[in-house]
Amino acid sequence: MAKAKRSNDWGFPRWRAYGTAREAEPVRICDRHGCDAPGDRPAPKSPNSRERWWFCEDHAAEYNRSWNYFEGLTAEDAAAREANERQGADAFASASHYGWGGPGDGSRSRDEMRALDVLEVEADADFTAIRAAWRRLAKANHPDVKPGDAEAARRFQAVQAAYEVLRAAEERRASA
């Protein structure tokens, strides 16, 4: 009868982590010819295929820059494939149950998002872009520039209020 080898993993405390082995961990090498870096970033070999290339970070970036999903297809085939995939992915086009949240990444309040809409800037605009938009809209709608125009006066007041909301929010963020 063969004698069982003794392990120093028994008892408490364990001397090694669970699932570790004594032999070296296998490392996948980048699939780019001549590269010896670890290939830890998968890239598809062809559309709708489970086969993958494994590249290092540099070669994955190079591969993604030149990736063309519709390569080798005629314009009609590419349009047909795009239409077919859009039809099949309608459920994922936009998650309607999250539609109530509106645009943005959640770092701005609803009032700030409304103010950004009034100033006609993107949801992720920084404060310098907000200030530039405020100045542009304030100059365009100022009562001295358009005397007697009630609509311009209303827009000017809305722009001023929107800027005040965003300025106060920026000051709160800066002080926190």
Tokens of 65: 């820059």
pLDDT at 12: 59
Helices 150-175, 110-118: inter-axial angle, 10-degree rounding: 140
Dihedral of alpha carbons 57, 104, 122, 68, sign: positive
Taking the mean position of all CA atoms in its chain, how far away is CA 112? Answer: 21
**Local structure of 52: helix, strand or coil:** strand
pLDDT, averaged per 10 consecutive residues of the chain (176 residues), comes to 59 59 77 90 79 88 79 85 70 54 70 92 91 94 91 94 93 86
What is the model's pLDDT at position 161?
Answer: 94
> Model pTM?
0.44
Q: Where are the alpha helices (DSSP H) in 49-149?
A: 57-65, 75-88, 90-93, 110-118, 127-141
List of domains in the chain = 27-72 (no CATH), 106-175 (1.10.287.110)
**Locate tokens 């949240």: which residue?**
101
